[in-house]
Amino acid sequence: MTRITAVINLHREGELAVPSLESLVNATREAMDAGMSCEVLAVLDRSDAATSEVVARYAERVTLRVEATDFGELAAARNHAVGRAEGEFIGFLDADDLWCRSWLVAAGRAAEREPSAIFHPALNVIFGSRRLLMVHPDMGDRHVAIDSLRSVNYWTSLSFASREIYGRFPYRPNRLDQGFGFEDWAWNCETIAAGLSHRAVPETTHFIRSKPADSLREQTVARGCLRSKTDLFVWPSQPRTVDAAEL
């Protein structure tokens, strides 16, 4: 039986968390109907009373374990969830985004077939302050240009993978005051550098809410932050010499 921990990371979303929790409940019920085992883990990091109250309402509808943390930092909250998860696989959801109903079933089956890979939905529908359709590339396609990860992030943070992978590659903290952020981008690069593959699950979609300037992404961009250093793009320590026969 596939054992999944569905993690929702919350902060101060308030009622915005309602549709996110609805999508999580629908996806976990779909997975359980398909014979999978699902636990729901809600991590409230420096949450406010309104958000805590929303989570309490859903705890009456679905078996939901709550972890209250005081990190004030999303990467640390994700790592905490990994340490508390009991499932073989973990799927992350932010409390203002939504999963499609079939996400956990489709991702769980894909991970059973390829447990060493990291999975993303085929499509992201960006809504809110921006409207955009984002296609996630699949590294099984030889046309994926990994070198482009120097300047653009291919995959969002709402990934699905084994607990072992998340434990082996913890998210690096955002250090906006020092000019570094984009923890999901850095994590994608780090896992690829270690030889892991990022795959897109066909016929699945996530709905990503684009928010005004108070979102973490907008704060990171406004500060002109860089992606944290990874081993994916490292200049050779010494220049390679070229033999004349090669010219």
More confident residue, 232 or 207: 207
195-211, pLDDT tens digit by residue?
A: 999 999 999 999 999 87
| pLDDT exceeds 90 at position 220 | no
The pLDDT of residue 153 is: 85
Position 98 pLDDT exceeds 50:
yes
Question: In this predicted structure, which of 101-110, 126-135, 162-171, 214-223 has the lowest mean pLDDT?
Answer: 214-223
- DSSP string spanning 42-67? EEEES--HHHHHHHHHHHTTS-EEEE
Please answer whether residues 139 and 116 qualify as being in contact, where contact means their C-beta atoms are separated by less than 8 angstroms: no
pLDDT of residue 152: 79
182/119: higher pLDDT: 119
CB 139, CB 197: distance < 8 Å:
yes
**Dihedral angle, C-alpha 83, 87, 88, 89, nearest 10 °:** -90
pLDDT of residue 26: 96
155 pLDDT tier (thresholds 50, 70, 90) = very high
Q: Does residue 171 surpass a pLDDT of 80? A: yes
Lowest mean pLDDT among 15-19, 70-74, 153-157, 208-212: 208-212
Confidence of residue 135 (pLDDT cuts 50, 70, 90): very high
Q: Does a structural domain hold residue 244?
A: no
CATH number for the domain including 173? 3.90.550.10
The interaxial angle of helices 74-84 and 183-193, nearest 10 deg, is 60
CA distance linking residue 98 with residue 62, whole number of Å = 17
* Residue 29 CB contacts under 8 Å (≥ 6 apart), including other chains: none
Percent of the chain whose pLDDT exceeds 70: 81
Query: Does the residue 143 lie in any domain?
Result: yes
pLDDT of 234 above 90? no
Mean pLDDT of 50-74: 92
Full residue range of the structural domain in which residue 73 is found: 3-233
Q: Is residue 13 in some structural domain? A: yes
Give the pLDDT score at 233: 61
Q: Is residue 47 part of a domain?
A: yes
- Higher-confidence residue of 150 and 13: namely 13
Average pLDDT over the chain, rounded to whole? 85
Q: From 192, 186, 196, 138, select the one nearest 164 (Cα to Cα).
A: 196
**Could you tell me the two tokens for 165?**
């992978």
Exposure class string for 156-188: b at 16+ Cβ within 10 A, else e: bbbbbbbbebbeebbbbbbebeeebbbbbbbbb
> How many structural domains are present in the chain?
1
**Residue in this structure with the two tokens 């550098």, named with its chain if needed:** 193
pLDDT of residue 215: 54
How high is the pLDDT of residue 180?
Answer: 45
In a domain, 240, yes or no: no
Let me know if residue 215 belongs to a domain: yes
| Band of pLDDT at residue 148, cut at 50, 70 and 90 | confident
Q: Is the pLDDT of residue 45 over 70?
A: yes
